[in-house]
Structure 1
């Protein structure tokens, strides 16, 4: 196999909020929001670029009514204690579009060694301290503890969503305190909407880096970064330090607009890679959420001398990116 640390973008067209997980079997597993927001798909390939043409399997479809019937957003696939899990957000169908921001968080489980096979069982809603708009959950393990990070609307805080962290007793249940670790506060986090969402974890160099996305989903969408020491109490909000500037954003010169909602994986030869979505045009007709052309992209991460990640700028389409 020809090992290459470069990728030609887009990696997968019309797939937003992309999540890639490289498993011990050597496969990259991929899921993302589909333009119709009506189902969850999974595919796999032995290379990242192979995901473009990989067979796609529908793991789950929305219901016709009820809390799992509209706007299926941002699925993530994880492997925890020998089983596969997909975390996602869903809203309910209404006669108006009021249900658009009525999301709650849910999880599916599959015991098959290959998640393209077997049965995906609904494990239900992930319950938090509020019944309010919630989405973009991710999980990570650190020193034997399973953590859950998500975006939610606190009814008592102005804005659309903040980031929270909690410990889990199993992959579908939160226990203990639920701590807000980030709220939109800088100018680049509050354009169009006051949003912190789409967290993803990268552990390197004695630190835990948490990327997240901010602002409206048009060309203003961008990424920020929270950093904690690996020895810190991750359930203490003071352990997380936010970058004062965005770490990845629109670049007019390369023609990439609204990059964000990323995940992290490794290249075929072990380098850190960021998977993200972006559009290749700025002007959007209508609601950006219904513009289907947020394409999945891949980019190798560089590392600064101080041990922090340097995401660079989103590269041009059709060009191999180091």
Structure 2
């Protein structure tokens, strides 16, 4: 865990704080050509997550059925069950990463075998690299949505989406509907490129749903886009359509009046 600390997420689960993150022992790729990240968990039983290093305990690697490149873990609760969703390489499947789900015995241990939800298969998921990564979960009106990011982290980066009925078997792949097109992608007119790796939160009013994501305002990237440091963090509101699905609109520049975004 000495190099490349990636994608930390802070969650409050069962009265305690948890940070999920990925880390690698080296800065370069391994024999398989991929980075060597694995997933880890920190726990804090204090009600104050800012209590300092002494309040946090490292729980070690969150182990799955495969000891391969894995990252971008997130968790969500449904009907008193805790689920873990993440991206991982399967050597038997072409590409860098697929998305998996499992139920958890506790916030740092899986209770079930991983189930694959999606792999890169569409053209917009396989540009530059074959990637499904960065899952984020939002629940709305009896449905559970998982957004994820696809393709290389340049202007091709974009967001896809899965949907399941909240009362269905969430560990059954057939419970999940996959969109065959991106739900959030580059906005060429406004020079916003490669939006992705999103999260969800609420605005200060406690009602307005907000999309947090990163993207660039340029396309001139030298070398591997993963090492380009200028993926700006952005946030904007989104709404829901008549079918109860999120309508994310388009990524907009910093000086845009977000109250005028056409949803």
How far the C-alpha of 1:268 sits from its partner, in A, is 0.8
Match of 2:74 in 1: 138
Equivalent position to 2:111, from 175, 179, 199: 175
How far the C-alpha of 1:320 sits from its partner, in A, is 2.7
Root mean square deviation, CA, Å: 1.1
Match of 1:239 in 2: 175
More displaced stretch, 279-288 vs 256-265: 279-288
Match of 1:288 in 2: 225
So what's the TM-score if we normalise by structure 2? Answer: 0.94
Secondary structure at the counterpart of residue 88 of structure 1: strand
Alignment of 1:41-120 (within 5 A): 68-93=1-26, 97-99=28-30, 101-118=35-52, 119-120=55-56
How far the C-alpha of 1:207 sits from its partner, in A, is 0.7
**Aligned mates of 2:49, 2:245 — CA distance in 1:** 33
Match of 1:313 in 2: 250
**Aligned mates of 2:121, 2:226 — CA distance in 1:** 23
Match of 1:275 in 2: 212
Match of 1:200 in 2: 136
Match of 1:213 in 2: 149
Whether 1:124 and 2:55 are equivalent positions in the alignment is no
How far the C-alpha of 1:71 sits from its partner, in A, is 1.0
**Aligned mates of 2:35, 2:113 — CA distance in 1:** 25
Whether 1:188 and 2:121 are equivalent positions in the alignment is no
How far the C-alpha of 1:315 sits from its partner, in A, is 1.0
Equivalent position to 1:302, from 218, 239, 251: 239
Equivalent position to 2:89, from 153, 171, 176: 153
Count of aligned pairs between the two proteins: 253
**Aligned mates of 1:240, 1:182 — CA distance in 2:** 9
Structure 2 residue runs of 5 or longer lacking an equivalent are none
How far the C-alpha of 1:98 sits from its partner, in A, is 2.2
How far the C-alpha of 1:290 sits from its partner, in A, is 1.4
Q: Is the 8 A contact 2:37 2:70 kept in 1?
A: yes
Structure 1 residue runs of 5 or longer lacking an equivalent are 1-67
Match of 1:163 in 2: 99
Secondary structure at the counterpart of residue 226 of structure 2: helix
Secondary structure at the counterpart of residue 120 of structure 2: coil
**Aligned mates of 1:303, 1:222 — CA distance in 2:** 19
Residue by residue over 1:2-48, the C-alpha shift from the partner in whole angstroms, topping out at 9 and shown as x without a partner, is xxxxxxxxxxxxxxxxxxxxxxxxxxxxxxxxxxxxxxxxxxxxxxx
How far the C-alpha of 1:283 sits from its partner, in A, is 1.4
Match of 1:55 in 2: none
Secondary structure at the counterpart of residue 188 of structure 1: helix
How far the C-alpha of 1:93 sits from its partner, in A, is 2.0
Equivalent position to 2:161, from 217, 225, 234: 225
